Structure 1
Amino acid sequence: MKVLLKGTSLLLLILAGTVMGCKSPENASNFPKRPNILFAIADDQSFPHAGAYGFAEIKTPAFDKVAKDGVLFNNAFVAAPQCSPSRAAILTGKNIWQLEEAGTHASSFPKKLNVFTDMLEDAGYQLGYTGKAWGPGNWKIAGWDRNPVGPAYNEKELTTVPSTGINKRDYFGNFSHFLEKRATGKPFFFWYGGHEPHRVYEPGSGAKAGKRFKNVQLPGFLPDDSVTRNDVIDYAFEIEYFDAHLLKMLKLLEEKGELANTVVVVTADNGMPFPYAKANLQEYGTHVPLAISWPDQIKSSKKVDDLVSMIDLAPTFLEIAGIKSAPVMTGQSIVPVLFSKGGENTSKRNYVLTGRERHTHARPDNLGYPARAIRTKEYLYVKNYKPERWPVGDPVPPNDENNKRAQTEGFKTLFPGYHDIDGSPSKTFMMKHQHEESVNRLFKNAFEKRPEAQLFDIQNDPECLYDLSGNTEYSDICADLRNKLDQELTKQGDPRMFGSDIFDSYPRYSPMRNFQGFNARGQYNPAYAD
């Protein structure tokens, strides 16, 4: 069953550019030689969790080298705080509300969507990836003969890894194999998609590696306890593992004399897998690390405060590859930022937009939690379309009847609920201690229902602990940001702006739970089809 927006909504989407045409970028590339591109994307890592940002308990020599050799971004944001929609937005240069099924988690990837990887290949680039590409989701069902990222290089695996939570894929070995197979003289685009620091972590792996939980810079939205501190250093340990493979890749390129003409991009697909981070539009869900180097062309290091979105990467890659005609994209090339003197606002962005739809199967009828946000340098404004829904999934008591049936019918169990938060020691601790004074306010922020609008003062409250939307002193700011957000969403054809619930109809191909109502895996929910 194929679900389409009808009537006026579909017309508006077409006019907004969801059906792609072609135009020339404003700055066609005149670089003397097409560079290679190495794109390294961690799985669930928040800003500022890298050494170059001053996070003392994480050692990231590869990320730090890229930052030192090029540009370190202080304000980079993913389009969505979830794996597959964020990655789809990177590939297409478009926001998630422009991507139909690919705009929600663990669904499909419509074949009609243009991806920059195909355009690079058509222009003579050799493609490859190792680890996690676009996913989770089902790309085959939409007619793709390979993952939208490109051909997989995943044959090599390690016999041992430093902890049980780490994937055994030999990322570096597969990259080396890719380079051996590359046709002579061809520029390459390679996607290194680490599975780290995605959960599950081996408890105590960080401490076993010599990290001290007392030293960790704990985010203010987590209660200060040895449980949460140990959880964070286990997360930090996996970031270092991801970085170690990247460091070997950089050294190999240097040995081959190819690093100088390789654009290296290091970032993450969404924020850390902790309460009030991943799957949330608050700061630690969407604000990610980003460093870009190109030694042949970027001759001095700099830090920039420009607001950039991951949807800006696709047009950037196309420009540096010299592709002078490309599909219309919402993202803007950040080549001017790469070659600015530093400290300038050259991205022409005064704000970035983010959004989310369904994450896991966490509510009856397989419903999501639709929300959109606008982030300026000063404020974050969040618009929650369905404030009556639980933002991180319904709470479920252990004696719930559906939970009992799930254990006998092959579904994922429901207890303890709040399934849009990954299971973790931090989640368990916060649920167990939610009524204690030191935890209660943090629990409410992360787990409980939210108002239709939220406003956070990022300069003074970067961890989004205090919602200012109810403060009359900020009424004008709320109104201004809401108007800007609505105008852009309307311009871009967001179905939510036209009263459509079509995102709640899209299938989920990952495992389902036995919540009441619609729970058919891999099928469209007809109740929400337009």
Structure 2
Amino acid sequence: MIRFVTLFALVLLHFTALAQAKKSRQPNIILIVSDDHSAPFLGCYGYPEIKTPNIDKLAAEGIIFKKAYTTAPQCVLSRAAIMTGRNTLDIQMTRFSAPLDASVTSYPELLRKGGYHTGILGRSFHLDGNRRVPETVAVLEKYNLETFKNRVDYLKASGNRDTIFQQYTEFLDQAPKGKPFFVQVGYSDPHRLFNAKNFEPDPAKISVPAHWPDTKLLREDFAAYLGEIQRLDSDVGRVLEDLKKRGLDQNTLVVFIGDNGGALLRGKGTLYDLGIHVPLIIRYPGLIKAGQTSDALVSGIDIAPTFLSVAGLPVPKEITGQNLAPAFSNPQFAGHDHIFAVRGAHGQGLPTNSSNFDLGRTIFNKKYKLIYNAIWQIPYHPVDFAGQPFWLDLKQKHAEGTLAEPFDKLLFADRRQMFELYDEEKDPFETNNLAGKPEAKQIEHELKSRLQEWMIVNRDYLPLPIAP
């Protein structure tokens, strides 16, 4: 009997040691999130007039995903999907100021249960509701809707660059030795207002996207946006350098991603490319060969299952994202067949224009993109820059009839088309709408059918795109 007990104890000790060894091999995870950051505005994404050496180095040491898209062109909706691995309809997060319901599990909670020390810091993570309106605050407190203090070990928010770095170092200092950690480091750049004066490139020497009117004031505004990204790069450099000094860089998965597209013409708040196409870079020495580029079709819902898989943890069945880890070693990894994204209410304003309130859906693959504007009668109204000099100048030119016709139609049409269809290969700026044209009838119907299925399965409240 004594021999049996001794043998059992040795076996138990062996499996305990194996479990501890597995835990020790779990990588640390750092998610760096920029705010309102469209692809391709980084040096490593091929934009020549921007200097982002730290992010470029991160990309050179890992893998760049060229076709990464968020599930919405707005921070709350997009971040909710990233945080849960589920689309915004599925988790009922299409209203901008909504808190994530306690019944919906976030991946930091799963990492925490799997042995991780977890934290969220820096720029507001946007998923506990909004405290700007007293009546809203009363509801949040009455029903205990602010849940993230219970979901992670460390939770602090700040928009100040130095404070963000202090929070980051404080989190690492507090992380238990021998225990893996996860931390989300959020930045405000390049969100408006643009104030990175010391980082701005020369407005006269930058390349303006071809579907924008090339005016002096627009160049100045765009240069200010690029300056914000260059300032962000210096902050990312501080985080990565500190990680290296601590000797943690070799066993840490570092991910850089934008939460949604920039507040630029036909960007944030729209389902066009600049609204949902974001940079995504992943570095993990030993697992990811340096200098890789992937053309896989990637969605924001893919972050959660990737983190869980790399951590050696099970992925719950309700998570609909794909694990991106196969792309680390397989250049043929294709990602999704199709990506879906939604546009919901924005901010806390009343529905006075399409900036505050717009409802739309999109589906696309690598070749074609369909946009469904449910409130098509409302004209385009920019998010976050309606009062900026460059936009007021464009409005004046429109009123005077001096704005070139192609730009005038894109920006100031009295109403939009209910459906827009674009050939993404031939028309990357999405200016030639093929919807309703005989030559595009088949692909338009195919995309509408797939969108219809997705909307039905996810209990969408919008009218379906194919009428009886």
Question: Shared fold by TM > 0.5?
Answer: yes
Q: Are the structure 2 counterparts of residues 387 and 421 from structure 1 closer, same or farther at C-alpha, using a change threshold of 3 Å? A: farther
Cα offset, 1:72, TM superposition: 0.5
Using the TM superposition, give the Cα deviation of residue 345 of structure 1 relative to its aligned residue in structure 2, in angstroms.
3.5
In the alignment, the residues of structure 1 paired with residue 90 and residue 425 of structure 2 have an alpha-carbon distance, to the nearest angstrom, of 30
Q: Does residue 227 of the first structure (1) align with residue 217 of the second (2)?
A: yes
Matched AA of 1:301: G
Pick closer, same or farther for the CA change 1:439–1:169 going to 2, 3 Å.
farther
| Corresponding residue of 1:245 | 235
Give the letter aligned to residue 132 of structure 1. Answer: R
Q: Does 1:374 align with 2:363?
A: yes
Deviation, 1:106, is 2.2
In structure 2, the partner of 1:503 is none
Counterparts of residues 121-140 of structure 1 (less than 5 Å): 121-135=112-126, 138=129, 140=140
Cα 1:37–1:222 change in 2 (3 A) is: same
Alignment match, 1:152: 155
2:100 is equivalent to residue 109 of structure 1: yes
Aligned counterpart, 2:171: 178
SS of residue in 2 equivalent to 1:368: coil
Matches within 5 A, 1:23-42: 33-42=25-34
Hey, what's the Cα distance between the residues in 2 that align with 1:209 and 1:280?
27
Query: Gaps spanning 5+ residues in structure 2: where?
Result: 1-21, 131-139
Q: Give the alignment's Cα RMSD to 1 decimal.
A: 2.5
Tell whether 2:397 aligns with 1:433: yes
Mapping for residues 11-90 of structure 1, pairs under 5 Å: 33-90=25-82
Q: Percent identity?
A: 29
Residue in 1 that maps onto 2:333: 345
Distance 1:144 1:274, change over 3 A: same
Matched, 1:95 2:95: no
Which of 292, 296, 302 is the matching residue for 2:286?
Answer: 296
Query: Which position in structure 1 is the counterpart of 2:341?
Result: 354
Q: Structure 1 129/219 Cα, relative in aligned 2: closer, same or farther at 3 Å? A: same
Separation (CA, whole Å) in 2 of partners of 1:362 and 1:225: 32
**TM-score calculated relative to the size of structure 1:** 0.75
| Structure of higher CA gyration radius | 2
Q: Which amino acid aligns with 2:419?
A: A
Distance 1:191 1:427 in 2: 34
Q: Give the alignment's TM-score, normalised by structure 2.
A: 0.85
Whole-Å Cα distance in 1 between the matches of residues 97 and 111 of structure 2? 26
Please report how far the alpha carbon of residue 167 of structure 1 lies from its aligned counterpart in structure 2 after TM superposition: 4.0
Partners of 1:369 and 1:391 within 8 A in 2: no
Q: Is the 8 A contact 1:274 1:427 kept in 2?
A: no
Distance 1:143 1:171, change over 3 A: same
Q: 1:232 to 1:51 in 2, by over 3 A?
A: same
Out of 492, 502, 513, the position equivalent to 2:458 is: 492
1:475 aligns with 2:441: yes
Partners of 1:126 and 1:189 within 8 A in 2: yes
Q: Shift in Å at residue 221 of structure 1?
A: 3.1
2:200 is the counterpart of 1:200: no
Deviation per CA, 1:373-416: give whole Å up to 9, x if none.
Answer: 01211111101122223443xxxxxxxxxxxxxxxxxxxxxxxx
User: Any stretches of 5+ residues in structure 1 without a counterpart?
Assistant: 1-29, 156-165, 393-417, 500-530
Mapped to 1, the partners of 2:403 and 2:360 lie a distance apart of 28
Alpha-carbon distance in structure 1 between the residues aligned to 2:321 and 2:232? 27
The equivalent residue for 2:429 is 463
Which residue of 1 is the match for residue 134 of structure 2?
Answer: none
